Structure 1
């Protein structure tokens, strides 16, 4: 049975800085660490484009049997929609650990090599199927070029592009002392918090000002927000409001 709530193990590239301190709270989660409104708009637009391409494909396949015509178009639409989802709805892995010293968390994303294997074998199988169907009806040749052909090009670009693979691989470690937090905002539009901070720059009189996002599940919201609130310095703003993730 699949366990989607299984705790995520830290990759070997990341280690807890304050592992020797007792933890106040720890958890891990997969979250969309970007502006989901923009991503959802992009998904809606591209879905419309894919639907248009599917309708064109349906009209081109006018000479074949109705069952094969509908089946091939449904397959094409479903496959392209799945690929689109993998682009617009990616999730980052997060692991959080709160101690008396502060807020510590790691975020990472490994390049999904399993996706290359799946895409390679799936492309091969679909190519064989379409070649066989072409012997029955030559119009399936168009489907072979659009479907397996496009998947083959996608596989080659993913497998051979080091730049693409680096873009899909990230490892980051963050730590903030409680005293460095200058404002805490509990998001009303997403299940998360935004922590604003001010950290001294090493060897400089200036401060680094920024913000970090804390993601959690709805069931952990009360515990996480209360723990952060209790550890803020007196007078530090703790508010509720809309949070726009700027990543």
Structure 2
């Protein structure tokens, strides 16, 4: 029924509660668990602002800088801040869903983006080599080597060795629901999501919680997933199609 790519490995910090029960259906996926329209608009707006700032940096030299030097500096400025903005507006969370006779489990986690460190490290090395080479032609590029690669290097060090930064970009959550908890099933019309509203007692919060579980699906799978879920729900639970606003979390 489903065409799935290579599954994500569940991290050791998370494990299934109903692992002793046969899995009826399960998959993993990387998804943006927030309002993507707003995030995309923010990224587009900030990209336009960055283009303007980069052009201003290029067109207003502080001295007798070479045109190539100003171009490289402006480009580095744009690339660095574009990466910073993209890391905030285009983050993806890892999700693993598992369905059993007892209910639904969702593990979601966000690992620290090691790829960003690798990219920054190579970008720093390449720009340093370039500026050192250009300094053999014009010693003024030695200043550029301090500003460009130096700034990239400091960014790399702050990301690699800052515990608070790593903690901010690392998350682990395990959500567990019984079939009787769900009060509505909805197929999202605006995203590849099946939405399950639920009411249950949250032991961590110590109170009754009314919220939604967003089941992120791959393209053209949400209808099949919804039809699979429907027989497990209590009689009379509404099954609708509606626009779904993806919440940040169920905390």
Deviation at 1:96, TM superposition (A): 0.6
Q: Unpaired segments of 5 or more residues in structure 1? A: none
Paired residue for 2:21? 21
What CA distance in whole angstroms lies between the structure 2 residues aligned with 1:102 and 1:161? 39
2:59 aligns with 59
Give TM-score scaled by structure 2 length: 0.83
Normalising by the residue count of structure 1, what TM-score does the alignment of the two structures yield?
A: 0.85
1:46 aligns with 2:38: no
Deviation readout 1:79-131 (Å, 9 max, x if unpaired): 54344323321111111111111111111111133432442342133123123
Q: Does 1:12 align with 2:12?
A: yes
Q: Tell me the SS of whatever aligns to 2:195.
A: strand
2:214 pairs with 1:213 = yes
Judge conservation of contact 2:185–2:226 (CA < 8 Å) in 1: no
Cα distance change, pair 81–22 in 1 and its aligned pair in 2 (3 A): same
Spell out the pairing of 1:129-208 with structure 2 (5 A cutoff). Answer: 129-137=130-138, 140=141, 143-144=144-145, 147-202=148-203, 207-208=208-209
Q: Secondary structure at the match of 1:200?
A: strand
Instruction: Give the Å deviation of 1:222.
Output: 2.2
* Secondary structure of the structure 2 residue equivalent to 1:57: helix
For this pair of structures, how many residues does the alignment match?
A: 243
The alpha-carbon distance between structure 1 residues 164 and 74, as it changes in their structure 2 partners (threshold 3 A), is closer
